[in-house]
C-alpha cells in the first residue's frame, strides 16, 4: 500500500462527489487518484480540480474506473453505478464505501452476495451525528415504543430523487425491529382523506422536498400529555463527506464483508 491511500471517487462532479474531493484534499493520509462520472457527462476530460473549484489537479474526469490505481472506491451516485463499482471492487481487490440510497430489493440482495468477496461499507447516511441518532432512537423505542405513537419526518432539497430518504427508512426499520414490529407492514407513507383513527402499531412517515435543504430527520414519540422529539439537522454535505472518508480509512483494514457506519464508529 502506498504512503497515502489512493481513493477513486465515483460521481465526482455531483453534489456529494464535489464535497468528498474537497475533504480528501484536506486529508493528509489520502489522495485522489481517479475521478469518475457517467459516460455521457458533459465535463468528461476536464481537470476535476478545476471542476470542483480546487484549481488544477492533473486528474481528468473519466467515464469509467481504470484498473491498477487506488485502494478504495467512494460512490455516492446511483444504485446501478454503485453496483457496477462493487463488481469492479470485487474483481480488482479494492475496498468500497457506498453512500447511495434507493436500491431495489433485488439490488440489495446482489450487494449482500457480492460483499462476501469484498470489503464494503454501505450506509444510507455517513454522518457521525446521524449514526448516533440511529442508536438513540432504538434505546428510546425500547422504553417508550409500545405506549407512544411514532412518527418520522424528513426534509431534503428539491432535487432529491428517492422518497422517503434511505435514512428515514432506516430509522423506521430500526425502531420497528426494536419493538417487535415489521416495518413493511406498519409503515404508513403520508395520509389523506377519511382514514379513521390512527392505529397503535403504525409508524408514520412524512416527507418534505423544498429548496436546498441538505437533510433533516425527526423522530417523534407522542404520548398522552407529552411528546419526545429527536432531531438531526445537516448544515452542509461536508459532514457526510467526512463520514465517508472515516469509513474509507476504516474499511481498508477489515476482512471481506458488508459493514455500515455503526461498525465504523464502534456503535454495535
Catalytically annotated residues: 156, 160
- Residue 134: how many CB atoms within 10 A of its CB? 24
DSSP string, the chain: --SSEEEEEETTTSHHHHHHHHHHHT-TTEEEEEEE--TT-TTTTSBHHHHHTS---S-BEESSPPTT--SEEEE-S-HHHHHHHHHHHHHHT-EEEE------HHHHHHHHHHGGGSEEEE-S---HHHHHHHHHHHHHHHHHTTTSEEEEEEEE-TT--SSS-HHHHHHHHHHHHHTT--HHHHEEE---SS--SPPSS-EEEEEEE-TT--EEEEEEEEETTEEEEEEEEESSTHHHHHHHHHHHHHHTTSPSEEE-HHHHTT--
- Residue 265: how many CB atoms within 10 A of its CB? 17
Q: Measure CA of the first residue to CA of the last residue in the chain; give whole Å.
A: 29
Identify the bridge partners of residue 235 per DSSP, sorted by sequence position: none
Amino acid at each position: 500500500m502506498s504512503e497515502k491511500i489512493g481513493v477513486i471517487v465515483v460521481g465526482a462532479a455531483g453534489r456529494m462527489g464535489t464535497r468528498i474531493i474537497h475533504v480528501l484534499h484536506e486529508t493528509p493520509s489520502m489522495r485522489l487518484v481517479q475521478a469518475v462520472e457517467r459516460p455521457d457527462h458533459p465535463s468528461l476530460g476536464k481537470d476535476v480540480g478545476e471542476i470542483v473549484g480546487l484549481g488544477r489537479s492533473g486528474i481528468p474526469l473519466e467515464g469509467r474506473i481504470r484498473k491498477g490505481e487506488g485502494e478504495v472506491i467512494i460512490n455516492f451516485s446511483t444504485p446501478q453505478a454503485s453496483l457496477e463499482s462493487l463488481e469492479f471492487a470485487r474483481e480488482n481487490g479494492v475496498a468500497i464505501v457506498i453512500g447511495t440510497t434507493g436500491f431495489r430489493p433485488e439490488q440489495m440482495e446482489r450487494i449482500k452476495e457480492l460483499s462476501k468477496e469484498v470489503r464494503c461499507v454501505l450506509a444510507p447516511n455517513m454522518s457521525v451525528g446521524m449514526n448516533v441518532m440511529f442508536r438513540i432512537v432504538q434505546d428510546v423505542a425500547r422504553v417508550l415504543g409500545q405506549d407512544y405513537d411514532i412518527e418520522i419526518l424528513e426534509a431534503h432539497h428539491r432535487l432529491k430523487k428517492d422518497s422517503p430518504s434511505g435514512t428515514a427508512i432506516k430509522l423506521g426499520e430500526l425502531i420497528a425491529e426494536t419493538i417487535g414490529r415489521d416495518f413493511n407492514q406498519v409503515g404508513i407513507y403520508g395520509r389523506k382523506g377519511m382514514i379513521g383513527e390512527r392505529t397503535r402499531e403504525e409508524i408514520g412517515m412524512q416527507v418534505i422536498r423544498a429548496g436546498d435543504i441538505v437533510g433533516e430527520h425527526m423522530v417523534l414519540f407522542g404520548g398522552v400529555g407529552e411528546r419526545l422529539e429527536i432531531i438531526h439537522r445537516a448544515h452542509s454535505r461536508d459532514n457526510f463527506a467526512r463520514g465517508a472518508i472515516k469509513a474509507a480509512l476504516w474499511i481498508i483494514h477489515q476482512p471481506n464483508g458488508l459493514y455500515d457506519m455503526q461498525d465504523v464508529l464502534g456503535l454495535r
